[in-house]
C-alpha cells in the first residue's frame, strides 16, 4: 500500500499507520490490524510473556509430572518407605493429569467466551497457590493426617492451572504473531517445555548436592537426618517452581487483548485497532492543522482532503458470527470441519499415549535401559518403590536421586532440548502438515528400533546402543510430533473457536496420558509385569508405541489441512497462510484442491493416473 506523493510522504514514513484509527469499515480495520502485526515480524514482547508463562508451568509440569522422577522417589522414601507398590505415585500422576485435562477444556472455552487476557494470569494464580500447597503438605504430628490426602487435591489444582496454560499461551502467541513468524514464535514458546524439564533436572540435582554438602546426610549414617533432609529437598524442588510464576504475572500486564478476538468476537473494532497499535507504540491519532481533513488512500485515511473521518462501525457491515449452537452445527457438521478437530485431537491423543507412557515414572524405565547385567532373585524380591534400580539393592536415597538426575539429563533432557532448538530454526523450511505425518512415521521407526535393541541388549554390556536410540527418540519427539501437535491447532481454527479447539485437542492428549498411566502397571508380558526388574516387557511396549505412532500419521495426513502456501521464488522458506484464510475451513481447503477425508485420501492414493 504505497503512500501518497509530496508533502504527505514524510508524514506517512514517520508513522505510516498514524491515521488507522479513522478507517471506517470493519474489513479495513481488520486489514489494518493484520498489517500492524505483520509489519513488526517476530514479536519479542509477546514471546517473552508467553514463554515466561510456559516456562514456570512447564517447569511445574516437569517438577510434578516428569520431574516426579526426583520428587516421587523422595516421597516414597520418606512416607512409604517399606512399600514395594508404586500405587501412590500412580494416583498422584493420574490426578494431576486429570486436573490438566479439565483445565484445558474449561479454560479453552472460557477464553473464547470472555477473552484471552481476562483468563491469562488466572491459571498462574492457581498454579502458585497449588504449588505452595504441595510444598507444605504434611502428615501432621504422629501421622494425624494423610500426606496423600493433602497431595491429591493440590496436585489436581496444579494440573488445572497447567492445563489452562496450553490453549491460552498458544492462542495468544498465534494471534499476535506476524504470519511469517507465527510458526517460529509458537515453536519458541513450546521449547520451554523441554527447557523446563532440563531446568527441573538441574534444580533437583542442585538441591540434592546442596543438602549433601550442608548436612552430609549421605555419609552421616543417621536415618532420621536422611529422612528429614530428603523431606526438605523435595519441598524445595516443588516450591521453587512458584518463583518464575510470580514473575510471570508482572509481564502479563504488558499484553493487551488479542485484536482478532476484540474485533471478531467482542465486536469492538475501534478498541481492537487502538489496542493493537498501542501495543506497538503507534500513535492512535494525529493533530490536524487548520483546514486539514481526512481522505482515504489505498484503504488508509491521511490528511489532505475534504472527506470527514468516521470512527464508528458503519451499520451496513455484517457483524461477527457468534459462538452458538447453530454456528457450531454449521461450521463443524455441515461444512465438515469436525475433521480438523478430530485430526488434531486424535494425533495429540496418540502422541501423548506414547510420550507420557515413557516420560512419567521413568526412573524405573531409565534404570532398565542402563542395566548391564541380570538381577538376582534376591534383589528382585526386595526392590522397594523408591529404589528405581534393582541392580543396586544397597543404593542409598542419595544414590537413587543422583542416578535419576544423571540418567534424565543424558537420556532425555539433552535430546529434547536439541530437537526443540533445531525445530525453531527449520520450521519455516518444511510443510508442517506433512512434517507431522512424516515425523510420526520416523518416530514409529525409531521406537521400533529402540524396542528391538532393548530386547537384544537388555542386561548386557551393549546397552549403550539402546541408550543412544532412546535419546534419539526424545530428539525426534520434540523436533516433530510433540511440538507440531501443539502448534497446528493454534493455526487452523476460526477466532471464535480457536482456544476451545486447542483446549479440546490438548485435553485429548491428556486423556491418552491418563489411560496409559492407568494400564501400564497392570500389563504383563511373558508372565511378568513390566515393572518386574527382570522383565524385558519394555521392549515390547516400545514396539507397541511404534505402531501407535504409525497410526497417528494416517490422521494427520487425512484430516489436517495445509497451513502453508506453495514455495515461491528462489527462497527456501515456505510461506504460511494467514489465520483468517485458514479459519475459512474445509470448504476453502477443498476449493484449493486439498482433500480432507480419509476415504478421499486413500481413493486418490490408489487412483490410476
In a domain, 317, yes or no: no
**Alpha carbon distance 274, 172 (integer Å):** 17
The pLDDT, as a whole number, for residue 12 is 35
Return the closest-CA partner of residue 346 out of 491, 194, 508, 121: 508
pLDDT at 382: 61
pLDDT (mean) for 469-481 = 96
Which of 47 and 345 is assigned the larger pLDDT?
Answer: 345
With cut-offs at 50, 70 and 90, classify the pLDDT of residue 424.
very high
Does a structural domain hold residue 298?
A: no
What is the pLDDT at residue 24?
59
Is the pLDDT assigned to residue 291 strictly greater than 60?
A: no
Q: Among 357, 49, 50, 410, which residue's Cα sits nearest to residue 202?
A: 410
Q: How far apart are CA 39 and CA 34, in angstroms?
A: 8
Above 80 in pLDDT, residue 148? yes
Q: Is the predicted pLDDT of residue 238 greater than 70, yes or no?
A: yes
Residue 550 domain boundaries: 39-258+327-376+385-603
Which residues face 302 on adjacent strands? 295
pLDDT at 283: 54
End-to-end alpha carbon distance in the chain:
44
CATH for 455: 1.20.1250.20
Report angle CA 307, 308, 311 to the nearest 5 degrees.
135
Q: What is the pLDDT of residue 23?
A: 59
Q: Looking at residue 442, what is its pLDDT? A: 97
pLDDT at 284 over 80: no
Give pLDDT tens digits for 540-554.
999 999 999 999 999
Give residue 302's pLDDT: 33
Q: Identify whether 291 is part of a domain.
A: no
Provide mean pLDDT across the span 205-222. Answer: 91
Please say if the pLDDT value at position 182 is more than 70.
Answer: yes
> What percent of the chain stands above pLDDT 90?
43
DSSP assignment string, 263-315: HHTS--HHHHHHHHHHHTT--S--PPPTT--EEEETTEEEESSSPPP--S--T
- Interval 497-530: pLDDT, tens: 999 999 999 999 999 999 998 888 888 888 888 8
Provide the mean pLDDT of the chain: 82
Cα separation, 285 vs 18, in Å, equals: 6
Residue 339 lies in a domain: yes
User: Grid coordinates representing 434?
Assistant: 506433512
pLDDT of residue 377: 56
Residue 17 resides in a domain: no
Distance CA(485)–CA(556), nearest Å, equals 9
pLDDT at residue 292, rounded to an integer:
32
Tell whether 294 is covered by a domain.
no
The answer to the question of residue 27 being in a domain is no
Burial of 223 (0-12, 13-18, 19+ CB in 10 A): exposed
d(CA 66, CA 80): 20
What total of structural domains would you count in the chain?
1
Q: What is the pLDDT of residue 2?
A: 37
**Amino acid 419: pLDDT:** 96
What is the rounded CA–CA span in Å between residue 412 and residue 410?
Answer: 6
CB atoms within 10 A of CB 128: 21
| pLDDT value of position 160 | 93
- DSSP states of 427-441: GGGS-HHHHHHHHHH
Degrees to nearest 5, angle at CA 306 with 302 and 307:
65
Model confidence band, residue 270 (pLDDT cutoffs 50, 70, 90): confident
For residue range 67-99, what is the model confidence (pLDDT) as tens digits? 566 788 899 899 988 888 778 888 888 998 999
Percent residues over pLDDT 70 in the chain = 82
Question: What's the whole-number mean pLDDT along residues 347-375?
Answer: 87
Residue entry with cell 551393549: 462
The pLDDT of 549-560, averaged and rounded, is 96
Q: How far apart are CA 55 and CA 193, in angstroms?
A: 7
Greater pLDDT, 87 or 360: 87
Q: Give 431-467 pLDDT, tens digit per residue.
A: 999 999 999 999 999 999 999 999 999 999 999 999 9
Q: Looking at residue 303, what is its pLDDT? A: 34
Please state the rounded mean pLDDT for residues 185-204: 86
Burial of 373 (0-12, 13-18, 19+ CB in 10 A): exposed
Q: Is residue 235 situated within a structural domain?
A: yes
CB atoms closer than 10 angstroms to residue 166: 32
Q: Give the per-residue pLDDT at 111.
A: 93
SS3 451: helix
Amino acid at each position: 500500500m504505497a503512500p501518497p506523493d509530496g508533502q504527505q510522504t514524510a508524514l506517512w514514513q514517520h508513522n505510516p499507520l498514524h491515521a488507522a484509527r479513522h478507517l471506517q469499515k470493519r474489513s479495513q480495520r481488520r486489514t489494518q490490524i493484520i498489517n500492524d502485526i505483520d509489519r513488526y515480524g517476530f514479536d519479542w514482547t509477546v514471546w517473552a510473556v508467553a514463554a515466561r508463562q510456559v516456562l514456570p508451568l512447564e517447569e511445574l509440569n516437569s517438577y510434578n509430572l516428569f520431574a516426579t522422577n526426583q520428587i516421587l522417589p523422595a516421597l516414597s522414601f520418606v512416607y512409604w518407605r517399606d512399600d514395594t507398590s508404586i500405587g501412590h505415585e500412580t494416583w498422584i500422576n493420574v490426578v494431576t493429569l486429570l486436573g490438566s485435562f479439565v483445565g484445558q477444556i474449561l479454560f479453552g472455552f472460557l477464553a473464547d467466551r470472555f477473552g484471552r487476557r481476562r483468563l491469562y494470569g488466572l491459571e498462574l494464580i492457581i498454579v502458585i497457590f497449588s504449588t505452595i500447597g504441595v510444598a507444605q503438605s504434611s502428615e501432621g504430628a504422629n501421622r494425624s493426617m494423610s500426606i496423600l490426602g493433602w497431595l491429591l487435591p493440590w496436585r489436581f489444582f496444579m494440573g488445572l492451572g497447567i492445563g489452562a496454560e496450553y490453549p491460552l499461551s498458544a492462542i495468544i502467541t498465534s494471534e499476535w504473531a506476524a504470519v511469517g513468524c507465527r510458526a517460529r514464535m509458537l515453536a519458541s514458546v513450546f521449547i520451554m517445555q523441554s527447557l523446563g524439564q532440563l531446568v527441573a533436572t538441574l534444580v533437583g540435582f542442585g538441591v540434592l548436592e546442596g543438602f549433601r554438602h550442608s548436612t552430609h546426610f549421605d555419609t552421616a549414617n543417621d536415618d532420621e537426618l536422611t529422612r528429614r533432609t530428603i523431606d526438605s529437598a523435595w519441598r524445595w524442588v516443588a516450591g521453587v517452581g512458584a518463583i518464575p510464576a510470580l514473575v510471570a504475572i508482572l509481564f502479563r500486564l504488558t499484553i493487551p487483548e488479542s485484536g482478532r478476538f476484540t474485533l471478531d468476537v467482542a465486536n469492538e473494532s475501534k478498541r481492537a485497532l487502538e489496542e493493537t497499535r498501542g501495543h506497538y507504540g503507534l500513535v492512535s491519532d494525529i493533530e490536524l492543522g487548520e483546514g486539514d481533513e481526512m481522505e482515504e488512500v489505498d484503504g488508509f485515511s491521511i490528511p489532505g482532503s475534504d472527506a470527514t473521518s468516521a470512527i464508528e462501525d458503519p451499520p451496513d457491515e455484517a457483524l461477527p458470527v457468534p459462538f452458538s449452537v447453530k454456528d457450531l452445527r454449521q461450521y463443524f457438521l455441515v461444512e465438515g470441519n469436525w475433521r480438523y478437530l478430530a485430526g488434531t485431537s486424535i494425533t495429540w491423543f496418540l502422541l501423548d499415549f506414547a510420550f507420557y507412557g515413557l516420560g512419567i515414572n521413568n526412573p524405573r524405565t531409565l534404570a532398565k535401559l542402563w542395566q548391564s547385567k541380570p538381577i538376582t532373585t534376591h534383589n528382585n524380591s526386595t526392590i522397594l518403590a523408591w529404589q528405581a534400580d534393582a541392580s543396586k539393592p544397597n543404593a542409598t536415597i542419595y544414590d537413587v536421586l543422583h542416578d535419576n538426575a544423571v540418567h534424565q539429563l543424558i537420556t532425555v533432557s539433552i535430546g529434547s532440548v536439541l530437537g526443540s532448538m533445531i525445530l525453531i530454526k527449520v520450521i519455516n523450511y518444511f510443510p508442517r502438515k506433512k512434517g507431522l505425518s512424516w515425523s510420526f512415521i520416523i518416530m514409529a521407526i525409531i521406537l521400533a528400533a529402540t524396542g528391538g535393541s532393548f530386547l537384544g541388549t537388555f542386561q548386557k554390556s551393549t546397552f549403550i546402543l539402546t541408550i543412544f536410540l532412546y535419546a534419539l527418540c526424545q530428539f525426534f519427539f520434540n523436533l516433530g510430533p510433540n511440538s507440531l501437535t501443539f502448534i497446528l491447532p493454534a493455526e487452523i481454527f476460526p477466532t471464535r473457536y480457536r482456544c476451545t479447539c486447542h483446549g479440546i485437542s490438548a485435553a485429548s492428549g491428556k486423556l491418552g496420558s491418563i489411560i496409559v498411566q492407568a494400564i501400564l502397571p497392570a500389563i504383563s508380558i511373558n508372565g511378568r509385569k513390566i515393572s518386574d526388574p527382570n522383565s524385558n516387557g519394555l521392549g515390547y511396549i516400545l514396539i507397541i508405541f511404534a505402531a501407535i505412532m504409525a497410526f497417528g500419521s494416517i490422521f494427520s495426513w487425512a484430516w489436517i489441512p495445509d497451513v502453508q502456501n506453495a514455495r515461491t521464488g528462489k527462497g527456501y522458506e515456505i510461506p504460511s497462510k494467514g489465520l483468517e484464510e485458514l479459519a475459512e475451513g474445509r470448504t476453502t481447503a477443498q476449493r484449493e484442491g486439498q482433500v480432507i477425508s480419509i476415504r478421499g485420501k486413500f481413493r486418490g492414493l490408489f487412483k490410476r493416473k
